[in-house]
Amino acid sequence: MEEQTVLTKPLLRGWLHLGGLIVLLACSPILIVLAENGADIAWSLCFVGGVAAMMLTSALFHRVNWQPRARRAWRRADHSAIFAAIAGSYFGLAGITMHGTARTVLLVVVATGTVVGVTIRQLALDTPKWVATLPYLVVGWAAVAFIPQMYRGGGLACLLFILGGGLAYTVGAIFYGTKRPKLWPKVFGYHELFHAFTLVGASLHFTAIALALR
């Protein structure tokens, strides 16, 4: 999630994810309290851990003025951490709303896609942004075929929040991939808008998990 040099990056670059991380960790006990058993706690922690990893890596990468070699390593970590958030969200959402073979199949698909996606980002770090965005969208929408199971397990409200979160992530990815809109490049640009939509997506998925646990 980086495209500008340290000297020219917008003023708010990285701060949104740092703030989001603090809020996520502060709110995560809510899921623990709502969980009725150890399995639900574990699934909830998968979600929190995956999303927290993305936000922490992003905040560190974007706020610290790294030397070129370290910066490139952090860039790899930053891109890979997005897959951690996707996988963590799936394990949390599917783990709680689905059961049996369907859940196993979906999680295997997501885990495999995550490994492949991380490998691609490590080997092809400098691809155009719109190309780099595609693997995230493919893995991120892997659950489309399992919507009925999620509806049965979580209910309509939960499903709507799941889909809303996916849509928010997708809109943010479009901003990132197209580098539009420019907005205020010195303060808040398209990249910050991308980060803002990841926060919206994470918030909606957090709410979906809370609804499923009730």
With cut-offs at 50, 70 and 90, classify the pLDDT of residue 4.
very low
Given a cut of 90, is residue 169 above it in pLDDT?
yes
Q: How far apart are CA 83 and CA 113, in angstroms?
A: 9
H, E, C per residue of 70-116? HHHHHHHHHHHHHHHHHHHHHHHHHHHHCCHHHHHHHHHHHHHHHHH
Contact indicator for 24, 206 with CB cutoff of 8 Å: yes
Q: How far apart are CA 147 and CA 149, in angstroms?
A: 5
- What six digits make up the tokens of 118? 């991380």
> Rounded to two decimals, what is the model's pTM?
0.92
Which of 77, 72, 83 lies closest to 59, judged by CA?
Answer: 77
Comparing 1-5, 56-60, 128-132, the range with the smallest average pLDDT is: 1-5
pLDDT tens digits for range 25-48: 999 999 999 999 999 999 999 999
Given a cut of 90, is residue 112 above it in pLDDT?
yes
- Looking at the DSSP bridge assignments, the partners of residue 184 are 188
How is residue 182 annotated by DSSP?
Answer: -
Res 135: pLDDT: 86
Contact indicator for 8, 183 with CB cutoff of 8 Å: no
Res 108: pLDDT: 96
pLDDT tens digits for range 190-201: 999 999 999 999
Q: How far apart are CA 166 and CA 85, in angstroms?
A: 12
With cut-offs at 50, 70 and 90, classify the pLDDT of residue 131.
confident
